[in-house]
Amino acid sequence: MPRLPRVSPANLLRALRKAGFLDDRQKGSHITLRHPQTGRRTVIPMHGQTLSVGLLSAIIKQAGLTPDELRALLQ
């Protein structure tokens, strides 16, 4: 699997919104996103500078994206 880019929570949120995810709810500093067609859900913690590789991997897996798709969305 290709290496994942280092990403801030705000940039990841922007990329997932580009992919069609909508804000479902927010509790504290955690935003839950939902995709209207697929029904997939994922949670992004909005604290900290960059997301750890393990957390980023889990989020893109929940979103049904590949690392290459994420890179394209981040540009």
The three-state (H, E, C) secondary structure of 10-74, written as one string? HHHHHHHHHCCCEEEEEECCEEEEECCCCCCEEEEECCCCCCCHHHHHHHHHHHCCCHHHHHHHH
List pLDDT tens digits, range 13-22.
999 999 999 9
List pLDDT tens digits, range 20-39.
999 999 999 999 999 999 99
Phi-psi region of 45 (alpha: psi -120 to 50; beta: other; left: phi over 0): beta
CATH number at residue 54: 3.30.920.30
**Domain span including residue 28:** 9-74
Asked if residue 46 is part of any domain, the answer here is: yes
Asked if residue 49 is part of any domain, the answer here is: yes
pTM over 0.85: yes
Asked if residue 3 is part of any domain, the answer here is: no
Asked if residue 4 is part of any domain, the answer here is: no
The number of residues in the chain equals 75
